[in-house]
Amino acid sequence: MASGKRRVVVVGTGLGGLLTGAFLARRGHPVTFLEAQSIIGGRFTHIDYQGFAIPTGAFHAFPGGVRGHLFRCLCKIGVHVSLVEPAPSVMVAVDGQRLPLHLDMTRSQSPVLRRLVGVNRRGPVTRSAARMLIAGLMGRDLPAAEGMRRIGGTEAGVRLLDRLTKFALSVPAEEASAVELLRSILSQRFGREGFLIHGSGSMIGRIRTAAESSGAEVRTAAPVRRIIVEGGHARGVEVEGGESLDAGWVIANAGVRRTLGMLGEHAPSRVVEQVATLRPACGFTHAVRSRNRLHEHLSIEIPLDLRHIDGIMPVSNLSRFLCPPEWHFALAYQWMDPAEDPEKQLEAGRRELLEHLGSGAEIMNTACYHSHNPTANIAQMIDQHGKSRPPAILPGIEGLFLVGHDVQGYGTAAELIGESCLRLWERLERA
Ligand SMILES: Cc1cc2nc3c(=O)[nH]c(=O)nc-3n(C[C@H](O)[C@H](O)[C@H](O)COP(=O)(O)OP(=O)(O)OC[C@H]3O[C@@H](n4cnc5c(N)ncnc54)[C@H](O)[C@@H]3O)c2cc1C
């Protein structure tokens, strides 16, 4: 091994683990990925079912688009992806109309939508948002819904925000943090929602190829049961079955809770206590097909008049590579209230979705993200976002680095991972 290079073991091949392993392999470190499942990619890949790209999690959306952190991560490891960035990013379906909503804040919004949500003038909105951000940074955060009311938002405005936070963060606006939302928007540098033309699985495959062409090894069906810590330093891992692998650096991408479990008695008690109080986010995703065209636009549809369905991604309008040519294909997200009966919510959501999409639509698959597989092990609510999330480096343990959706950082969905990866990679380069 060249001097200054460390043997690296990556536990988990979710997006954060794969990106970080590929980055380190490119820098000349010998990297081994260990993945518990038989496929790689975690919640950011898809399974081909009869020609339909059914996601394990991510809807093939690439938040932040070409201006975002995730795109920068891919550039650093030499991976190219083709994106489409629809404008507007969102169509709000209300009273039989479709109103465009630009998530790129530099663009002006539809006057009809501005009147409906009560956010009319940019100046006062910007000033209120800045005040909220400063107060939040001083520890006085408030729910996103309350923030919307403070900038003069109507009840329709709060309802729209609620749909958006449920779709993007899997958290209702009454619980989502206003600061998280504002910082997420800022961290995306006013980016526009992108969409992966060849799907999430294709991007994962390219990251894997990039890692392997730099010498990395990928092992699937290899669950790690223990991270070996000696003298306050992570020295390697033990795989189910008993095999041990030595490492100079361990990159943990299995989620913070699982990682703490793998550390056993070495898990820092402060972080264990912090994580114990954090709530996971849950939801359902519905994969729908139809012989008839399902949407007339390319944008994420937010159906404001519906009760259960938060957003619909018109997949086949965005890319013809993700379903057979004779079909139309869409993915819908439904937030799940963990306090209510999941079966009843599921039934109501499925019924509502089929009515909304009209005759010919059929649900091919519904995935429930709950208990062992929540949409996010740690949600993005007040007190569990951004800086209040567990750190990438655990106190008292050297050589162990956490990456993934649960680690400190800002942004929606995979943008959060991109942001935290870039921060970690800078530290690793200095180490
Ligand atoms: C329904 C849904 C829709 C989403 N839509 C989008 C979207 O459109 N766009 C977007 O950007 N984001 C989206 N997200 C979020 C995105 O999917 C996640 O942020 C991202 O995939 C999480 O990546 P991660 O790095 O945290 O790893 P994870 O995906 O959590 O992967 C962790 C990996 O670790 C493995 N593992 C666990 N335990 C062990 C062990 N003991 N040993 C070895 N391996 C282990 C797991 O099998 C898994 O492969 C969505 C999420 C969900 C659930």
Is the domain of 217 the same as that of 358? Answer: no
CA distance 11 to 13: 7
Q: Quick one: which atom of ligand 1 is closest to the CA of 59?
A: 8
- The parts of the chain modelled with pLDDT lower than 70 are 1-3, 104-106, 188-191
On whether the CB atoms of residues 69 and 422 are closer than 8 A, the answer is yes
Enumerate the β-bridge partners of residue 74.
Answer: none
Is the domain of 386 the same as that of 262? Answer: yes
Is the domain of 360 the same as that of 336? Answer: yes
Quick one: how far is CA 266 from the chain centroid? 29
Query: What separation in Å is there between the alpha carbon of 42 and the centre of ligand 1?
Result: 4
Give domain status of residue 146, yes or no.
yes
**Between β-strands 52-55 and 46-49, what pairing exists: parallel, antiparallel or unpaired?**
antiparallel
Is the domain of 290 the same as that of 365? Answer: yes
Q: Where are the beta strands (DSSP E) in 207-280?
A: 217-219, 224-230, 233-239, 244-246, 249-252
Is the domain of 269 the same as that of 286? Answer: no
Give domain status of residue 2, yes or no.
no
Is the domain of 123 the same as that of 267? Answer: no
| Single residue among 133, 156, 187 that ends a domain in this structure | 187
pLDDT confidence of residue 182: 85
CA distance 65 to 87: 12
Residue to mutate (ligand 1; options 44, 208, 331, 415; most atoms within 8 A of CB): 44
Is the domain of 270 the same as that of 405? Answer: yes
Element (H, E) at 33: strand 31-34
Number of domains present in the structure of the chain: 3
Is the domain of 117 the same as that of 254? Answer: no
Is the omega angle on the peptide bond into residue 86 within 30 degrees of 0, that is, cis?
no
Q: Which domain holds residue 417?
A: 8-60+198-278+378-430
Is the domain of 286 the same as that of 346? Answer: yes
CATH for 301: 3.90.660.50
Q: Quick one: which atom of ligand 1 is closest to the CA of 60?
A: 8
Ligand 1 pocket, residues with Cβ under 6 angstroms = 11-17, 34-37, 42-44, 57-59, 61, 63, 223-224, 253-255, 258, 285, 369, 375, 404-405, 413-414, 417
Is the domain of 302 the same as that of 412? Answer: no
Predicted structure pTM score: 0.96
158-217 pLDDT, tens digit per residue, is: 999 999 999 999 999 999 999 888 888 777 666 678 999 999 999 999 999 999 999 999
**Between β-strands 283-290 and 362-369, what pairing exists: parallel, antiparallel or unpaired?**
antiparallel
Is the domain of 119 the same as that of 169? Answer: yes
